[in-house]
Amino acid sequence: MALLSPTLIETGDLSITGSSGTRQDRLFHAIRDKIVANLWPMGGRLPSTRKLAEELSLSRNTVTAAYEQLVAEGYIESRLGSGFYICVDLPDHYLPTQSSRDDSRPPAIAQALDLNAPFAPGVPDLAAFPAAKWQSLLQRHAGRQSLMGNQDLQGLAVLRQALSDYLASSRSVHCDPSRIIITAGAQQALSLALLATLNRGDRILMEQPGYTQMRKIIDWQGYQLQTLNIQPYQGLDVNSVLTSESEALYLTPSNQYPMGTTLNTEQRLKLIEWAIAGKRWIIEDDYDSEFQFAHRPYTSLQGLAGQMGCDDRILYVGSFSKVMFNSLRLGYLVVPSSLVSRCLMIKDALTGDTQAHTQAALADFIQEGDLLRHIRKMRRLYKDKHRLMLDAISRFFGDQVEVLSQPAGLHITLRWQGGIGEDDWAQQAEAAGIVLRPLSYYEPAAHPTRDWQGAVLGFGNVATDAIDTLIARLAALFHHQPERSTSSESA
Amino acid sequence: MALLSPTLIETGDLSITGSSGTRQDRLFHAIRDKIVANLWPMGGRLPSTRKLAEELSLSRNTVTAAYEQLVAEGYIESRLGSGFYICVDLPDHYLPTQSSRDDSRPPAIAQALDLNAPFAPGVPDLAAFPAAKWQSLLQRHAGRQSLMGNQDLQGLAVLRQALSDYLASSRSVHCDPSRIIITAGAQQALSLALLATLNRGDRILMEQPGYTQMRKIIDWQGYQLQTLNIQPYQGLDVNSVLTSESEALYLTPSNQYPMGTTLNTEQRLKLIEWAIAGKRWIIEDDYDSEFQFAHRPYTSLQGLAGQMGCDDRILYVGSFSKVMFNSLRLGYLVVPSSLVSRCLMIKDALTGDTQAHTQAALADFIQEGDLLRHIRKMRRLYKDKHRLMLDAISRFFGDQVEVLSQPAGLHITLRWQGGIGEDDWAQQAEAAGIVLRPLSYYEPAAHPTRDWQGAVLGFGNVATDAIDTLIARLAALFHHQPERSTSSESA
């Protein structure tokens, strides 16, 4: 949004107070407070880094770094060749941690970019969703008075029945409606799974790189994270699990996130045995296994255990974000009978029952066959997109990058050596309006053995005919390798 | 549902396995497993308690107790003079702990009764809600693709803006959209408020009797509950707060739940001062203050503090369950700026963002004036219902019960001495299809000084012309005082 003659911000009364934090931090907070308090007009232009550095007797590097952080968190924006401006649409981008789910970008990268921008992982094709059908189902239930009062904490019985049938036939999950808990999104299912099985200080094994949103619960609740290094193509080293004394294992066995490997039946059996023998828990996150392009998906780990009559240590987590759309915010947890009442106790305390009308509409969507139809259609569409992605990557990158992930799901994982750093590339992509997730985002600390660069591209919500252009743009950044540092600064 | 010639269940293969639990427990589980596995036909008749006791060589009391538990949890039903039958609508009443929110009945009382049956507290008039208007708003947004991807974790900016305006004008709440966090129901707002401010082991003051759902979080998270005894008509003893070293205070200042007292401005100011001076937290639960029939509501505690520029220790929790309907599952939390990012961090880990289309519809519902219109209409309706309740109680009970609660909100609190016990009365009401909440439900332990009986009646969702009949039915039970024990057994 171009503003005519932007106000130059008067920074005379800006002072760096307090003594905690670096000077950069204090400057960042001082400016942010002005913006948040509406004391500086939206669209106003900040003094150049050189000018402010002089005024405040700070080094120019300090000011530059503070400005960059303000840009990264969406308070100000940089306009090439013109300077730094206070962002106009403050309320939308107010907070440093506003974004959610796995699809949030790393905190180091600007928040102003749309959460669902091209290549954001975990976003399905939103335009292809049968919105009219969904609207009519919502309409069918939205006025039902019997759904307006307090509802079953565990989820509507009709939905649990429909889901039970679907899971049994599509994912070989061993369950009945009494073992399903409907949650307000899969993240709630993951947190319930942890809170119902572990005590503070308990150990949990988790893939590295792995699902960042899971790590947030682990960190916040004070569980001991024990990482399992995922090797390209090989995936999980099952032996390192078998020798572990951890109380629990969290994993994505059908399409390791984000490395795109899969566990075969033999490996799954070993893990099940480990859990049963040691009375440990396995939390299976089956976030996108509906989308396998090369072969039929493996039976879920939970279903495999169920076939042998020993699924009482396995919790199965599923999401509707990938097969329908993200903001639906419905997920589910399939637990052993022994855990049902404990999970419900925690759900009751933390959040209560889940929105009823949407559940009723979803039950119909499943029961009337719409979900399966949509999944089949999307499997074809994503398979096409995946092929177009591979083609474009091959054409624009040649052999400079390698695709690690199996043909499945909604994302592609790249590896390369030498050349641009993954974090730099991601930052430049961001500036170009593209989400490129660096692999570092999925690692709690620097990976001990990784001597290569990696990044994840979600192709679910990218238009088929935009793939070439976007990959070309990424390739240009990749090959150009502009310097990092303060090259974008202009004032 | 009457079935012709019900099948008599063949119990020949029923065996009481395992050695854990009492014989009653094991019998209960053995029968439940048969029902859940669909091995016994729905509607089938169970053998009489005498016959089954003989078959299994158990005492008849054991069988009777197991049957009663099965009735209580909704697996079987008792038909007067005819025997026990397997419930036809199993999925709806499957689980012992299915109920949710404050409006769940105490565990000791049967769960088969509809959660929103007459006099269930906390349920608004569902028939009076403008469902058609709500449907059209949902319809307006349900197909919007821009709302289908990942959303702002804090809540849609349009909703926070609309809510901020509403809260400022209607509840004198001191806030701006950046301090509002939209939650999936008020229960989530309450749990976030606690989790963001307290550490395990910290002390929290809470009214006794008080809101049971709050106690569940406190217990589960291992905070130290310190009770503040609420006296009829007097309410909270503010001095007992002022001398406390607790880290936090949770309260319902505008309509104490369930005793229906209110804090005046002087008392509120003292509490604010206590919190500020000692760097303590106050969590203000303003669940139904829109409905005051005798006078204008007091300024919210948060708003009062805000007027003095010292609201940075106060968290304000609000709900749409009472002003709209329960299953909407949207609530909100207004927090000091210093707590926003911590609350969002926890929300991100535990549950993620909140359903977007409903938020967008709600924003319009507020902004287009529908919410205020509905509240005004409901205030008149509830005022009428409240008067009818008082009339009926006076007519059918005379001076045998006393109404403690102020003319406000959606419930009436009764007190009496001598005569029937509150728990017995509640159980008998339950059998008659009426929710009568005994006061013991709101107390963590036996009240130290209470030498009277009490109960709560929610009148929000009771039809105006049903009030007389229902109160008459309760009065008959009250006066008749039938014995407790197993008088309902028929086989």
Q: Looking at the complex, does the CB of residue B73 fall below 8 Å from at least one CB of chain A? A: no
* A chain contacts of residue B132, beta-carbon cutoff 8 Å: 143
Q: Looking at the complex, does the CB of residue A341 fall below 8 Å from at least one CB of chain B? A: yes
Considering only CB atoms, B352 lies closest to which of A92, A185, A220, namely A185
> Which residue carries 């206590």 as its tokens?
B274
Stretch among A246-255, A292-301, B224-233 having the lowest mean pLDDT: A292-301
Q: How far is it, in rounded angstroms, from Cα A167 to Cα A318?
A: 10
Global pTM value: 0.77
**Residue A141 or A43, more confident:** A141
Q: How many angstroms from the chain centroid is the CA of residue B163?
A: 24
Q: How far is it, in rounded angstroms, from Cα B240 to Cα A226?
A: 47
* A chain contacts of residue B185, beta-carbon cutoff 8 Å: 351-353
Considering only CB atoms, A329 lies closest to which of B127, B346, B354, namely B354
Q: How far is it, in rounded angstroms, from Cα B221 to Cα A350?
A: 10
B329/A116 Cβ within 8 A: no
pLDDT band at B18 (very low <50, low <70, confident <90, very high): low
Residue A374 has pLDDT above 80, yes or no: yes
Q: What pLDDT is stored for residue B5 in this prediction?
A: 57
User: What is the per-residue pLDDT across A260-288, written as a single tens digit (0 to 9) for each?
Assistant: 999 998 999 999 999 999 999 999 999 99
Q: Looking at the complex, does the CB of residue A98 fall below 8 Å from at least one CB of chain B? A: yes
A91/B177 Cβ within 8 A: yes
Q: How far is it, in rounded angstroms, from Cα B414 to Cα A232?
A: 68
Angstrom distances, CA of residue B282 to CA of A350, B193, B285, B300 = 19, 10, 10, 12
**Residue A56 or B426, more confident:** B426
φ/ψ of residue B126, rounded to 5:
-75, -30
A350/B187 Cβ within 8 A: yes
Q: What pLDDT is stored for residue A75 in this prediction?
A: 75
* B chain contacts of residue A362, beta-carbon cutoff 8 Å: none
User: What is the per-residue pLDDT across B435-471, written as a single tens digit (0 to 9) for each?
Assistant: 999 999 999 887 777 899 999 999 999 999 999 999 9
* B chain contacts of residue A123, beta-carbon cutoff 8 Å: 149-150
Q: Which of residues 436-465 of B touch A (CB under 8 A)?
A: 461
Q: H-type helices in B78-226, by residue range?
A: 131-142, 157-171, 186-197, 212-221
Considering only CB atoms, B348 lies closest to which of A116, A149, A216, namely A216
B104/A126 Cβ within 8 A: no
User: What is the per-residue pLDDT across A421-459, written as a single tens digit (0 to 9) for each?
Assistant: 999 999 999 999 999 999 999 998 877 778 999 999 999
Q: How far is it, in rounded angstroms, from Cα A322 to Cα A459?
A: 12
B236 torsion bin: left (phi>0), alpha (psi -120 to 50), beta (else) = beta
CB contact at 8 A, A69 and A23:
no
Q: Which domains does chain B have, with CATH numbers?
A: 1-94 (1.10.10.10), 140-368 (3.40.640.10), 372-490 (3.90.1150.10)
Angstrom distances, CA of residue B162 to CA of A249, A359, B118, B234, B359 = 44, 26, 33, 36, 11
pLDDT band at A417 (very low <50, low <70, confident <90, very high): very high
Q: How far is it, in rounded angstroms, from Cα A218 to Cα A192?
A: 12
Residue A107 has pLDDT above 50, yes or no: no
Task: Provide, rounded to the nearest whole percent, the portion of chain A with pLDDT above 70.
Answer: 89
User: What is the per-residue pLDDT across A292-323, written as a single tens digit (0 to 9) for each?
Assistant: 998 877 789 999 999 888 999 999 999 999 99
Q: What pLDDT is stored for residue A423 in this prediction?
A: 95
Angstrom distances, CA of residue A311 to CA of A161, A279, A440, A475 = 19, 11, 34, 47
Q: What pLDDT is stored for residue B40 in this prediction?
A: 76
User: What is the per-residue pLDDT across A167-223, written as a single tens digit (0 to 9) for each?
Assistant: 998 888 999 999 999 999 999 999 999 999 999 999 999 999 999 999 999 999 999
A327/B353 Cβ within 8 A: yes
Residue A76 has pLDDT above 50, yes or no: yes
Task: Give per-residue burial for A401-427: e unless 16+ CB within 10 Å, then b.
Answer: bebbbbbbbbbbbbbbeeebebbbbbb
B135/A98 Cβ within 8 A: no
CB contact at 8 A, B44 and B7:
yes
Beta strand B248-251 pairing with B224-229: unpaired
CB contact at 8 A, B167 and B318:
yes
> Which residue carries 């005894």 as its tokens?
B229
CB contact at 8 A, B366 and B163:
yes
The minimum CA-CA distance between B471 and chain A, rounded to whole Å, is 22
> Which residue carries 């408020």 as its tokens?
B193
Q: How far is it, in rounded angstroms, from Cα B228 to Cα B231?
A: 9
Mean pLDDT computed over every residue of chain B: 87
3-class DSSP state of B389 = helix
Q: What pLDDT is stored for residue B19 in this prediction?
A: 67
Task: DSSP letter for A209, please.
Answer: S
**Residue A163 or B33, more confident:** A163
For A53, residues 6+ apart whose C-beta sits below 8 A from its C-beta are A59, A60, A62, A63
pLDDT band at B7 (very low <50, low <70, confident <90, very high): confident
Q: What pLDDT is stored for residue A232 in this prediction?
A: 95
**Residue B307 or B348, more confident:** B348
Q: What pLDDT is stored for residue B295 in this prediction?
A: 81
User: What is the per-residue pLDDT across B171-209, written as a single tens digit (0 to 9) for each?
Assistant: 889 999 999 999 999 999 999 999 999 999 999 999 999
User: What is the per-residue pLDDT across A147-166, written as a single tens digit (0 to 9) for each?
Assistant: 999 999 999 999 999 999 99
Q: Looking at the complex, does the CB of residue A265 fall below 8 Å from at least one CB of chain B? A: no
Q: Looking at the complex, does the CB of residue A125 fall below 8 Å from at least one CB of chain B? A: no
* A chain contacts of residue B341, beta-carbon cutoff 8 Å: 95-97
Per-residue pLDDT, averaged over A385-412, amounts to 97
Short-list B63, B71, B83, CA closest to B3: B83
Residue B113 has pLDDT above 60, yes or no: no
User: What is the per-residue pLDDT across A218-242, written as a single tens digit (0 to 9) for each?
Assistant: 999 999 999 999 999 999 999 999 9
Q: Looking at the complex, does the CB of residue B345 fall below 8 Å from at least one CB of chain A? A: yes
Cis, peptide link before residue A258, omega less than 30° from 0: yes
Mean pLDDT computed over every residue of chain A: 87
**Residue A83 or A427, more confident:** A427
